[in-house]
Chains A and B, each alone.
Chain A
Amino acid sequence: MSGVSKAPRVLRMSYLAAAIGGLGFFAMSVLLLGVWSGRVLEHQIRATQPAHPLPLTASEQRGRMIYGQDGCAYCHTQQIRYLDRDVKRFGAATLAWETIFDYPQLWGTRRIGPDLSREGSVRSPDWQLAHLYSPRSMVRDSVMPPFSWLFDGAADRPKQDARDLLAYIETLGRNRELAGKEGEARARAACECSDDERRLAFDSPTLNASPAMTRRHGDYPKLASSQDLNRGRQLYAGNCASCHGARGQGGGAGAAGLSPRPTNLSEHEYTLDRLGSALWNGVAGTAMPAWRDLPVQDLSAIAEVVRGFHTAEPEPTVFPDVFDLGAKVYAARCSQCHGDTGAGDGTAVDQFPIAASNFQAQRLNSDATLRVLRDGVDGTPMAPWTRELSEAELSAVASYVRRFYRK
């Protein structure tokens, strides 16, 4: 047995050496991967950031805190990686300066839900609130927890906390959007990155690739009439019924919180073209998102189901004098928005966040048309006309607009 060796002092020193040497390794890691990386990033940020990035307001700051304390970052990343698969799904790869106001950072390391780096402009505020209040009322198969304590008992009665959180969500991707073409060009020129990184950070066709982002204009595919009703029903139930109701009658689980309310599909006739644009581009200014992540044949199948909801009605007989009255009223009162030919292309529409109905592409049932003329449509610029128009004028114009529809 070694017993009392002559080396105790050496042994003590060696433990000390281990402690100090090991500490040196730790310091080295912090210096190399933390401090040095930080300096490179700082340099990169200075060279590439836009002149005036918007800091968060007090409300947005509070929203960020709620986002942090309730674990949003543990299912949603805020970091689009320099990979084609990320860029294709979410948009241009995240630049170093995009998170400069994040104390602490919210990059995240797990994606159960999608990345939110560019969520700000994707969906309408009422969709976001309804989704926070009750996620499955918007997305049937979502596993997101409800954040209903941020509300006063209903999706359209958000408390300050919910407004703050919404305000924060609306900021996501905002600064990159605001940087505009000049900002992008400046960052692109200053970026010390490889060709591949430059391509992924700057050459993405859109800054925001979210397939749900609504856009008011834009090409959309031509839908074909589809035989696959089963597939269509399945897709409709999974994606559409939560707002439009199981049989397209409106009033799905999430409908109550939305403004304007989801359309009652059963009282509309739609052309395939109209459904193509609504499904592909969404309906800007409403909670209707775009569905560009579904294949075109799936969209065709959904369109078939939607068209099937309509209950046909006999075409009413319109006497010439009523027709003339309708034409007169329409020209005076409706054409500014809905256009001379009912195509929804009046001179005033660009001033409104929501496009006017295109009567050539969709036709509302007669009684529903009268209801809309009398009551207006909540949440849209369509106002009630009962003060301005007599009963005779209302029913005349209601029957007149039916003429525009082109099957």
Chain B
Amino acid sequence: MSSNSTVASPHVEARLVYAHGLAAIVTLLISVGFGILAAVELIAPDLAGSSPWLTWGRIRYDHTQGIMLGWLGNAFFAFLYHAVPLLTGRPVTSVRLGQWIFGLWNFAVVAPGWVLVLAGFSQPLEWAEFPLVIDVFVVLALVLVAIQFLPPFFSRGLEDLYVSSWYIIGGLVFTLFAYPMGNFVPELVPGARGAAFSGLWIHDAVGLFVTPLAVAILYFVIPAATRRPIFSHFLSMLGFWLLFFLYPLNGTHHYIFSVIPMSAQIGAITASTLLGVDVILNVANLLLSLRGSGFFQRDIGLRFVGTSAVLYLIVSIQGSVQAQMSVNRSVHFSDWVIGHSHLAMLGFASFAAAGGLIHAWQRIPWARYDAMLLNWSYWLLLGGVTVMVLDLTAAGLVEAHLWQSAAPWIESVRAAKPYWLIRAIVFVPIVAGFLALLCGLLLGTRGPALQTIQGTIGLGPIKEIAPKLVSVDQGRP
């Protein structure tokens, strides 16, 4: 196969990559806006005045739903439009279907979901705050997404098998089932029994939707950008199966020391511990694949992705630790957990999504690209997330300490305020970082970037290097 004349594979629907990429960053900036408002309202609680539309609770709902569905959802779809054809050698099912998915996701889910929540129609369940009417459209869109991206994997004559494909298939199929479980079941099953399901979804939203697709990006971009195979396909497979075995069993760790049966709690804690081990395997595999590739200098997309792998390791080990009863009894309910979730979503997942987006963007012949702005974006975001997570972790420890003392409750609120102030100020580098990401993908020139890439990391369909990186029959070199 020779393809250096055409930069992108003919199968890649570059316009859909572009549309979802832009939607991702626009919804990201809006979601971050909600986050900033929520952070500032903790310092200036009367800021929203007597407007119910801007009250903290509603803003908080929109922040996380926007990040998960708007930013990460769109970014993952953009990546899938790039990766699926290259992984399978087949086009996605239909461009027309793609337009429907785009419209449905952004204009029947994210935008109206935000407005309805602000207007007071919502569901007080974590990662499930959009009202039920929106959930119907999410499920519909997820079905269409499965129809769009899965058939290429199952079509005839598939030559290569690669771990990213497994994560993509897994992530899309499981979310199709986990989403309704988390959003509908607690409406039908009350109280403690419903909480048993909510706990599962709190983890599945991150573990069966965000994580598999983010890890698919890591496993895709690293070999594609370094032009070298993954260190060990055996570890890839082991990592995949362990992740899908262990992740769903983690959910109950959100309700440790609750009335949910102790054996379920212990099971979830065990699964959480083992999950940390699994992530060590996975990330070791990814980092060993990066070893000696000069990834930090080589390419900005690759740098985002490599950093994401490191953050994935840190956040997963932290997760394993905080699921232990001895730690959980103290830090649960505190800002420590908020720090953890930002390390996961703003660190691991957002760095993977940004890296995947940049990687796909570089390979759209007519898209603009500015490496310097993206470099700025990287450092601003890395600085922002580091300060934020350290700050919230410290706040959580202070709160935990005061809660177990005899001090009045309000003391823990007073003590948290300086930390909340710092967290609110951190919005400056984070917003600047995301704006730089947006500008890096919208400004710049259309030509030079591609030449740079061609010179350093190569272009062309992944299938060209596929035998080196994906084939099952060849195994490791």
Show the binding face of A for B, using Cβ within 8 Å. Answer: 1-5, 7-8, 11-12, 14-16, 18-19, 21-23, 25-26, 28-30, 32-34, 36-38, 40-42, 44-45, 67-75, 77, 79, 81-83, 85-86, 89, 93-107, 109-114, 135-136, 139, 141-149, 194, 197, 211, 238, 293-295
Contact = CB atoms under 8 A, between A and B. Distances in A.
5 contacts: A33-B200, A83-B329, A96-B192, A135-B45, A194-B262
Q: Which of B43, B409, B420 has the most CB of A within 10 A?
A: B409
Interface in B171-223: 173-174, 177-178, 181, 185-200, 202, 204, 208
A295 B173 CA distance: 57
A33 B190 contact: no
A11 B161 contact: yes
Nearest to B468: A1
Interface string B93-131: 000000000000000000000000000111111100000
B273 interface: no
Contacts of A147: 52, 55
Contacts, number: 273
Contacts of B413: 112-113, 141-143
B192 A293 contact: no
B367 to A, nearest CB: 30
Nearest to B189: A38
Nearest to B46: A146
A136 B46 contact: yes
Nearest to B43: A143
B154 A12 contact: yes
Q: Which of A21, A25, A68, A86 has the most CB of B within 10 A?
A: A25
A104 B194 contact: yes
A86 B259 CA distance: 13
Q: Which of A22, A102, A110 has the largest number of chain B CB atoms within 10 A? A: A22
B414 A34 contact: no
B174 A26 contact: yes
Contact of A41 (B160, B245, B259, B407): B259
A103 B198 CA distance: 12
B297 interface: no
Contact of A69 (B58, B193, B245): B58
A37 B50 contact: no
A37 B258 contact: no
A22 B174 contact: yes
Nearest to A16: B154
A10 to B, nearest CB: 9
Nearest to B56: A145
Contact of A149 (B50, B333, B467, B474): B50
Contact of A293 (B46, B251, B409, B416): B409
Contact of A81 (B45, B190, B258): B258
Given A145-B55, A293-B406, A34 B258 contact: no
B161 A100 contact: no
B322 interface: no
B244 interface: yes
B443 interface: no
B185, B254, B420, most chain A CB atoms within 10 A = B185
Interface in B247-267: 248-249, 251-252, 254-262, 264, 267
B267 A32 contact: yes
Interface string B435-477: 0000000000000000000000000000000010001111000
Nearest to B330: A85
With most chain B CB atoms within 10 A of its CB, the pick from A81, A114, A197 is A81
A149 B252 contact: no
Contact of B329 (A21, A34, A85): A85
Contacts of B264: 32-33, 36-37
Nearest to B53: A149
A40 B45 contact: no
B334 to A, nearest CB: 7
B144 interface: no
B184 to A, nearest CB: 10
Given A34-B200, A105-B192, A136-B46, A70 B249 contact: no
A22 B168 CA distance: 12
Given A32-B267, A103-B187, A136-B45, A37 B474 contact: no
B191 A74 contact: no
A41 B473 CA distance: 50
A86 to B, nearest CB: 8
B209 to A, nearest CB: 12
B87 to A, nearest CB: 11
A61 to B, nearest CB: 13
